[in-house]
Chain A
Amino acid sequence: MTELLRTEAMSVVYGGLHAVNGLDLRVDEGRLVGLIGPNGAGKTSFIDGISGFTRTQGAIYFRGKRVDREPAHRRARLGLGRTWQSLELFEDLTVRENLQVGAERQTVGGFLLDLVRPGRHRDQSDVDWALDVLGIAHLADRMPTEISHGQRKLVGAGRTLAARPALICMDEPAAGLDTTESEQFGRRLRRIVEAGVSILLVDHDMGLVMGVCDELYVIEFGTRIAHGTPAEVVADEKVRAAYLGTKAGT
């Protein structure tokens, strides 16, 4: 399998706190990799780190290129997409425009042409595909403020997907969904992977993570405590103690 993303001893430090502490992680093409851990384990910091929103130490390789000094937007253009835990949609743009911002790339010539002929035809196939995969095509002309929370989550994912990334890092996409909804969401994730997009999934929903992921990383206090298939991870004593044991009640 071809390697897509690899981190080597990656750390994220806030003040004196090591939110992520020397983490090695690898995502291969066509895989759905889960990243789980208790609250405050450093999952979001890890995603912020690899997508370029916080300073990191150590190395990050994406498609064989070292990217840890690249700015966030350039990593996105290389095909390293991410979604946000708190949605962060562009509230002033319609759903379709939200996806267009993700999909389209501007050039100098394009900008000048825009000033004269803004309405000219643009290739919308990526946007339509993303709307279609997520089943939100009927919302295309609505504003993000008018649709439900669940739909907004899909728009957030769609905006990333419309850029046709090679990898999407999803930050708790299923938070707030009930069991049936998260099963349905899991099927959508598999469809995305089948379309050739790898996924790094961070979530608390153990049913979803165990059900859809090809492999799992478990982290605690910013360090890796287990790695393997869902079955292997479930069997791991350290994981049971650190994560599943404490989370069993929820």
Chain B
Amino acid sequence: MTRPRIPAARLRAGVPALVVVALLAVILAKGDYRTNFFSGGGFALGALVAAIALGVVVTYRGSGVVNLAGAAVAMYAAYVYADLRTHGDLFLPPLPNPLAPIEGLVHLAGDDSFTVPHWPTSVSFGATMGFWPALVLALVFCALFGLVLHVAVFRPLRHAPVLAKVVASVGVLLFLQAVVVRRFSTTTQVVGPLPFVDKTQVDLGLFKITQEQLFVVCLVLVLAVALWALFQRSRFGLAVRAAAENEKGATVLGFSADRLAAATWVLSTVVTGLLGIFVASVNSSVDPNTMPALIVPAVTAALVGGFTSFGWTTLAAFALGMQVALVTFLGANESWFPKADGLPVPGVDLLVPLVVIVAVLALRGQSLPTRGVLGPGRLPFSPTARPWALRYGGPGLAVVALIPGVFFLSPAMRDGLTNTLTGIVICLSIVVLTGFIGQISLAQTSFAGLSAYTVASLSTHHGWPFPLPILAGAAVAVVAGVLVALPALRVRGVHLAIATLAFAVAVDKVVFANSWINGGFDGATVTTPALIRSQDTDTHHVLGVTIGDGTQPNPLTLVFCLIVVVALGYLVANLRRSLTGRQMLAIRSNERAAAAAGVNVAAVKVLAFGVSAFIAGVGGAVIAYRTGNVTPDKFLYDKSLMFFAFAYLGGIASVSGAVTGGLLVGGGLGFTVLNKVFGLPDEFVLLLGGLGLVVTAVLNPEGVAGKARTDLLALRRRFRPPTPADRPTPADPPTPADRPTPMDPLTPTDTATTITEPTASATTGPSAASTPAAAAAVPTAAATPTAAATPATAATPATASISAAAAVPTAAAAPTASGSAAGTHVGGSAGATPAVAGEAR
């Protein structure tokens, strides 16, 4: 559909174009700007960003997934290649070993010499390998990896909500990074040069560039043109475009939509991997952190290209890659460049993608989704806290944490428990934002970090007494959260994830790496009252009880964290039970309908960001007081990803999920147990987190806590006889108000309406009713946990058939929800056609 060029639309397209042209003119006009912008290094970086961006576009067009792990694939491929070249080894990810726990237990018993067989860590191909075999092998590996990503991760998720896809790609990113750290540690790996080009300078008139840089640039340009031709000029491309519209479109052309998606995954991993290898060779090195972070400029470029245009994406990617050198030059040489303490502000080059993202989204986004725009799909069910949980569960858990924490746990376990408590706080902030209102933020530790540095500064340099800096820190976080919320008003789903990720990466450099703020090499000291100082080893005698055993960490630090966790836990539980919580969940399920019901969607979103950032800010302040020294590493963007992973793993939509997530976080109690008892090394946190995140996204989107709840409800239903209060009478009798109208009985109406539903529901109804066992199975299988929560089984077969039939269309609409309870992908396929859903059951 072509849009009319109304003046506003012209302005929207014209202003950014003018800005870009003006910037280019300035760069071209000034000689030293030009040489720095068109530098060889800039071109090489731009080429890599472009390749990653092209991969992102290819997968998006093929399968609708914005692959945040794209850049990590490039890094991984470079490592595979480098290892093959130097050692002739193909390294393997750590494989699950069912015997490992036995070994752990024996070691625990004291026999450290006992070992069980382990999986190999690598496959050796003899000595060092030549360029071509290594390249081919690495690319075959990339292709296989792309295939695995499709088959094991993203195919099961193809009808899942956007959140599940984002989560899965974050999981893949964490996993790849963790494998590399596990095998090679975080140090830089040397990569040999390419054999057929060298570092000879080539003079191209406007600028000079080395042979190898010129080679990768040309390669990317060729690839971009080839991809464009493939998608626009071939039958394959036509089928992919048709499949993007609907799956049947591709089938009509004689292609399987599934195979098309697989092909695009393979294509994207190979393209990304190829350039990852070449650019690592040009740069002579690769490390596990630099390349994965390039996903931000790459996704920015893909966004500029609307996730479809290869040309615009490539151009934008080159520009974003090349501006880095220019910005560094400006920082060093221009007096107008923003300075902090006499030094140029670091990370301004990372602000550029953020600005571009915000501008693109502001121009393209819509404040309310229009008719026909699909919603984000169902998110995990968000239960209201039960009265018993509020009255006894919360205090009970607090006591369970308090008593061992203060009196019995070893120092290491005490430390783990404290990490768990601070982790719970960050997870709670994610529960509010993602669980309640459905907004994805990958910048939660940035909010926490901003707060932590505020606390450090106020407590040490301005002498604010103890609790006050917490509030000030939280206030700073709230301001940041509200600022991030502004783009969120016009975008949703994966676009918001991208914007927040870009924000997090920018804050990492601009704020946390800024020596003016971070206190330089020693970090920023936090002046902590002695009573809760972690390093304090005094013992305290209260009412005849001795607290503290003369070792670090101070148990009272734990008590301080626990108080904050309990307070914030109740705050979040209360929020869910309140009108605001209902409004948030209303927005989560349907923004348009919420607005029609009089909910100010924009205001509630800003409020949710504010509350979430407040909680994260308090979390950051607690972390600051708890450690007594703020260092950037605790708040970098990868920590945000990690916390997001564990919050999702635990259960994104409830306080209990946040508590479970807190138990799982790196350094937390669960991990400390694995570490101390089973000797699991540190790197496994990320590995398990990434893997667990993928598995959770695919198999169990409700998270650990959500799964436990549905299982518990199913169990309880099985053992409890139907109580009179539970039994809905078959006819759903009309209320007294309805009696005067005799033609009001609802049941015939309902049955008639359900039969007009797709045939699946009509057929499922009777079949479910025919055997009690089937009837019992249906609510669980169809099962949104909400369906499971009601005693449908306890009712007579007639009612069961009605509710079962009613549940089927829902299951079709929300495949992940059904997949979770069924524990299989049946629900996933059910989403495609309601008819299949009927047959599957």
Query: Which applies to chain B's interface (DSSP): helix, strand, loop or mixed?
Result: helix
Cα separation A142 to B575 with both chains bound (whole Å): 21
Beyond A14-B1, A115-B578, A146-B803, list 4 extra A-B contacts (CB 8 Å).
A53-B371, A106-B583, A148-B751, A148-B802
Cα separation A160 to B1 with both chains bound (whole Å): 34
Chain B residue, CB-CB nearest to A132: B737
Cα separation A135 to B750 with both chains bound (whole Å): 14
Q: Report A23-63 residues with CB < 8 Å from chain B CB.
A: 44, 48, 51-54
Complex interface: stretch among A3-11, A83-91, A203-211, A233-241: A83-91
Assess whether B596 is interfacial by the CB under 8 Å rule: yes
Q: Name the B residues within 8 Å of A159 (CB-CB).
A: 593, 597
Complex interface: stretch among B16-24, B129-137, B785-793: B785-793
Q: How far is the CB of B566 from chain A (nearest CB, A)?
A: 14
Assess whether A116 is interfacial by the CB under 8 Å rule: yes
Assess whether A196 is interfacial by the CB under 8 Å rule: no
Chain B residue, CB-CB nearest to A152: B806
Cα separation A90 to B583 with both chains bound (whole Å): 10
Q: Is the CB of B786 within 8 A of A114?
A: no
Assess whether A177 is interfacial by the CB under 8 Å rule: yes
Task: Give the residue of A90, A92, A151, A163 whose beta carbon is less than 8 angstroms from that of B746.
Answer: A151
Q: Name the A residues within 8 Å of B577 (CB-CB).
A: 118-119
Assess whether B810 is interfacial by the CB under 8 Å rule: yes
Assess whether B427 is interfacial by the CB under 8 Å rule: no
Chain A residue, CB-CB nearest to B600: A73
Q: Report B367-417 residues with CB < 8 Å from chain A CB.
A: 367-368, 370-371, 378-379, 381-382
Given contacts A100-B582, A138-B732, A145-B807, A89 and B737 within 8 Å (CB-CB): no
Given contacts A114-B579, A148-B753, A51 and B786 within 8 Å (CB-CB): no
Assess whether B34 is interfacial by the CB under 8 Å rule: no
Q: Is the CB of A148 within 8 A of B754?
A: yes
Complex interface: stretch among A180-188, A220-228, A242-250: A180-188
Q: Is the CB of A143 within 8 A of B789?
A: yes
Task: Give the residue of B592, B744, B757, B803 whose beta carbon is less than 8 angstroms from that of A184.
Answer: B744
Assess whether A93 is interfacial by the CB under 8 Å rule: yes
Q: Is the CB of B754 within 8 A of A149?
A: yes
Q: Is the CB of B580 within 8 A of A135?
A: no
Q: How far is the CB of A138 from chain B (nearest CB, A)?
A: 6
Cα separation A139 to B746 with both chains bound (whole Å): 12
Q: How far is the CB of A24 from chain B (nearest CB, A)?
A: 24
Assess whether B723 is interfacial by the CB under 8 Å rule: no
Assess whether B594 is interfacial by the CB under 8 Å rule: yes
Q: Is the CB of A118 within 8 A of B575?
A: yes
Assess whether B205 is interfacial by the CB under 8 Å rule: no
Q: Report A149-190 residues with CB < 8 Å from chain B CB.
A: 149-151, 159-160, 163, 176-178, 180-181, 183-184, 187
Q: Is the CB of A53 within 8 A of B743?
A: no
Q: Is the CB of B746 within 8 A of A135?
A: yes
Assess whether B187 is interfacial by the CB under 8 Å rule: no
Chain B residue, CB-CB nearest to A108: B607
Q: Report B575-614 residues with CB < 8 Å from chain A CB.
A: 575-583, 585-586, 588-590, 592-601, 604, 607
Assess whether A72 is interfacial by the CB under 8 Å rule: yes
Cα separation A97 to B379 with both chains bound (whole Å): 18
Given contacts A145-B807, A176-B756, A184-B744, A114 and B595 within 8 Å (CB-CB): no
Given contacts A73-B601, A90-B593, A135 and B786 within 8 Å (CB-CB): no
Cα separation A147 to B372 with both chains bound (whole Å): 25
Q: Is the CB of B753 within 8 A of A145?
A: no
Cα separation A164 to B636 with both chains bound (whole Å): 49
Q: Name the B residues within 8 Å of A84 (CB-CB).
A: 592-593, 596
**Could you tell me which A residues sit within 8 Å of B by CB distance?**
13-16, 44, 48, 51-54, 71-74, 76-77, 81-82, 84, 88-93, 97-98, 100-102, 104-106, 110-111, 114-119, 122, 132-133, 135, 137-139, 142-143, 145-151, 159-160, 163, 176-178, 180-181, 183-184, 187
Assess whether B752 is interfacial by the CB under 8 Å rule: yes
Task: Give the residue of A73, A90, A122 whose beta carbon is less than 8 angstroms from that of B595.
Answer: A73
Q: Name the A residues within 8 Å of B381 (CB-CB).
A: 92
Cα separation A147 to B799 with both chains bound (whole Å): 10
Q: Name the B residues within 8 Å of A13 (CB-CB).
A: 4
Cα separation A16 to B3 with both chains bound (whole Å): 7
Q: Is the CB of A92 within 8 A of B749?
A: no
Q: Name the B residues within 8 Å of A137 (CB-CB).
A: 735, 737
Interface string of B547-591 (1 = CB under 8 A from A): 000000000000000000000000100111111111101101110
Interface string of B80-120 (1 = CB under 8 A from A): 00000000000000000000000000000000000000000
Q: Name the B residues within 8 Å of A145 (CB-CB).
A: 784, 786-787, 806-807, 810
Q: Name the B residues within 8 Å of A118 (CB-CB).
A: 574-578, 581
Q: Is the CB of A100 within 8 A of B579?
A: yes
Q: Is the CB of B806 within 8 A of A15?
A: no
Cα separation A137 to B738 with both chains bound (whole Å): 10
Cα separation A142 to B752 with both chains bound (whole Å): 20
| 13 A-B pairs in the complex with CB atoms less than 8 angstroms apart | A53-B595, A90-B589, A92-B381, A101-B583, A118-B574, A135-B746, A143-B787, A143-B789, A146-B786, A149-B756, A159-B593, A176-B753, A181-B749
Q: Is the CB of B1 within 8 A of A15?
A: yes
Q: Name the A residues within 8 Å of B580 (CB-CB).
A: 106, 111, 114
Q: How far is the CB of B825 from chain A (nearest CB, A)?
A: 21
Assess whether B200 is interfacial by the CB under 8 Å rule: no
Q: Is the CB of A183 within 8 A of B596?
A: no
Q: Is the CB of A105 within 8 A of B582?
A: no
Cα separation A163 to B594 with both chains bound (whole Å): 12
Q: Is the CB of A88 within 8 A of B582?
A: no
